[in-house]
Amino acid sequence: MFRAIIVRLMQSIPVLLLVAVLSFILMHLLPGDPAVVIAGADATPAAVERIRRELGLDQPIWEQLLSWFLGLAQGKFGSSLVLNQTVLSAVAERLPVTLSLAALSLTITLPIGITLGILAAYFRSSWIDAGVMMIALIGVSVPSFWIAILSVILFSVTLGWVPSSGYAPLLTAGPGPWFASLIQPAMVLSLFQIGFLARMTRSAMLDVLDQDFIRTARAKGVSEWRTVGKHGFRNALVAVVTVSGIILSLLIGGSVVVEQVFALPGIGRLVVQGIMARDYPLIQGTMLLFGFAFVLINVAVDIIYTLVDPRVRYD
């Protein structure tokens, strides 16, 4: 087990390095001069030149890459130009918001998505099946921010049930306001993943329910509930775990847009603000962290995979 984790982590090193290089290249693709951004609109050319030298932007590009890598090796992700704080502390400050949103959204998505998927597979070709497929289709066809705005009009403006925007921290504002500020964005995010998860669970269950051991279980008198729930779903779980990486990346991508609509001060909003303000180190650092998170999530999924399905090995 320990060996599998090490092997899988080693395999991800080249990708992690490439992710770092790509984040660097992406920042250098952005037009404009960071030195001018920091110096401000009415700075003298000499002041701009001084800042450029301070930031090391007058060095050849490969030397800048090298020094950035050296910094990364020491855990330095750079400092924001606009926010007057390091990238890591800016991310750490906003991480609870995005994590709360993701956790709440997963809490809604997992039980509903899996249950719908099992029901659709069990009552194959019935109206339940058709309904689940319809939800899945809506999830991949409707723009999330559009649904979010419509939802605000209905639940915040018209009915006044929940606030339309903003975030209430769990520790200072208490669980009530925290939940109220997140439930609407989390439901909007979930709408898009429930369909995907249900569809994946459905096709995995369809494969399993046709197997001989299901018929055997029924034949020897195991209750229908246990047959489907235990014998069936335990085996379909492998396929569900496989897509959990995709679910998490959908969640990360979706939260960028949803945080924007609901003005939640999370990481997605941080990146978008960084891009708009041409805050190069911030974009570079956050993109890198996003990339790392994604690669490591996939490593974790692969490792969980070996736990769920002992036949899978990484050697």
Partner 1 sequence: MTDVMLAVTPPQMLAKRRRFRVLRKLAAHRSFKIGLVLVTILVLCAIIGPMLTGIDPTAMSIRSRFKPPSVRFPFGSDQYGRDILTRVLHGGRLSLSLGLSVALISGVFGALIGVTAGYFRAIDPYVMRLMDALMAFPAILLAIGIGAALGAQASSIVVALSVAYVPRTARIVRASVLVIREMEYLQAARVSGAGDLHIIVKHVLPNCLGPLIVQLTFIFAYAILAEAALSFLGIGPPPPTPSWGNIIAEGRDYSVEAWWVMLFPGLAVSLAALGMNLLGDGLRDVLDPRLKIET
Residue 243 contacts residue 196 (beta carbons within 8 Å): yes
- Interface residues for partner 1 in 34-73 (CB under 8 A)? none
Helix/strand/coil (H/E/C) assignment for every residue in the chain = CHHHHHHHHHHHHHHHHHHHHHHHHHHHHCCCCHHHHHHCCCCCHHHHHHHHHHHCCCCCHHHHHHHHHHHHHCCCCCECCCCCCEHHHHHHHHHHHHHHHHHHHHHHHHHHHHHHHHHHHHCCCCHHHHHHHHHHHHHHHCCHHHHHHHHHHHHHHHCCCCCCCCCCCHHHHCHHHHHHHHHHHHHHHHHHHHHHHHHHHHHHHHHHHCCHHHHHHHHCCCCHHHHHHHHHHHHHHHHHHHHHHHHHHHHHHHHHHHHHHCCCCCHHHHHHHHHHCCCHHHHHHHHHHHHHHHHHHHHHHHHHHHHHCCCCCCC
249 binds partner 1 (CB under 8 A): yes
Residue 104 in contact with partner 1, rule: CB under 8 A: no
Q: Which of 38, 114, 250, 282 binds partner 1 (CB under 8 A)?
A: 250
Q: Rule CB under 8 A: is residue 312 a binding residue for partner 1?
A: no
> Closest distance between partner 1 and the C-beta of residue 142, in Å?
5
Residue 66 or 154: which CB sits closer to partner 1? 154
Q: Evaluate whether 250 touches 74 at the Cβ level (below 8 Å).
A: no
Least separation, in Å, of the C-beta of 150 and partner 1?
8
Cα 53 to Cα 45: distance, rounded to the nearest angstrom = 12
Judged by CB under 8 A, which of 272, 300, 303, 308 binds partner 1? 272
Options 68, 262, 290, 305; binder of partner 1; rule CB under 8 A: 290
The CB-of-217 to partner 1 minimum distance in angstroms stands at: 26
| Residue 6, number of CB atoms within 10 A of its CB | 11
Under rule CB under 8 A, residue 196 binds partner 1: yes
Candidate segments 41-49, 105-113, 117-125, 199-207, binder of partner 1 by CB under 8 A? 199-207
Identify the residue among 96, 131, 177, 291 touching partner 1 (CB under 8 A). 291
For partner 1 (CB under 8 A), the number of binding residues is 48
- Minimum Å gap between C-beta 239 and partner 1 is 9
Is 237 a residue that touches partner 1 (CB under 8 A)?
A: no
Quote the least distance from Cβ 139 to partner 1, whole Å.
10
Nearer to partner 1, 217 or 247 (CB): 247
Interface with partner 1, residue 271, by CB under 8 A? yes
**Shortest spacing between CB 54 and partner 1, in angstroms:** 24
Where residue 126 falls (left for φ over 0; alpha for ψ -120 to 50; beta otherwise) is: beta
Minimum distance between the CB of residue 277 and partner 1, rounded to whole angstroms? Answer: 10
Kindly state the tokens that stand for 262.
């609901």
Phi, psi of 79 (to 5 degrees): -120, 145
Stretch that binds partner 1, among 35-43, 52-60, 113-121, 140-148 (CB under 8 A): 140-148
Please state the closest distance from residue 219 (CB atom) to partner 1, in A.
29
Q: Which residues bind partner 1 (CB under 8 A)?
A: 14-15, 18-19, 21-22, 26, 29-31, 137-138, 140-146, 149-150, 152-153, 157, 196, 199-200, 203, 246, 249-250, 252-253, 256-257, 260, 268, 271-272, 275-276, 283, 287, 290-292, 294-295
